[in-house]
Structure 1
Amino acid sequence: MRNPSAPKKITWIIGIIAGILGIIGHYARVDFLTEHNYVLLLAGFIVLAVGTTFKGI
């Protein structure tokens, strides 16, 4: 198994923003965010997981 590494700053920002938008869409009624809240949360998690798994991403 690979050792985790810190993701690049832009990867971290994209993952965090997608996750926050997913959480906002779950608790607030914003048409696009509410419709895609789970996808946004999952995408944010995947971006962060890939960023820590592969070096340089």
Structure 2
Amino acid sequence: MAKPIKNTPVLKGKEAVNFYKTIDLNKDRKVSVTSLAAIQSDASKLKELLKVN
């Protein structure tokens, strides 16, 4: 039998501040074109594998 899933802990104090700082630093970052193409290629391959006939 599977173990129950624990709730995600709430971030408090320095952990919360650091989390929001990293969110702010990365909100303007864009995914590179090559990474996006690789992700789309992998997604299409996965769709083909999961296609119901």
When normalised by structure 2's length, the TM-score is 0.44
Instruction: Decide which structure has greater helix share.
Output: 1
Larger Rg: 2
Relative contact order (C-alpha < 8 Å, sep 6+): which is higher?
A: 1
When normalised by structure 1's length, the TM-score is 0.42
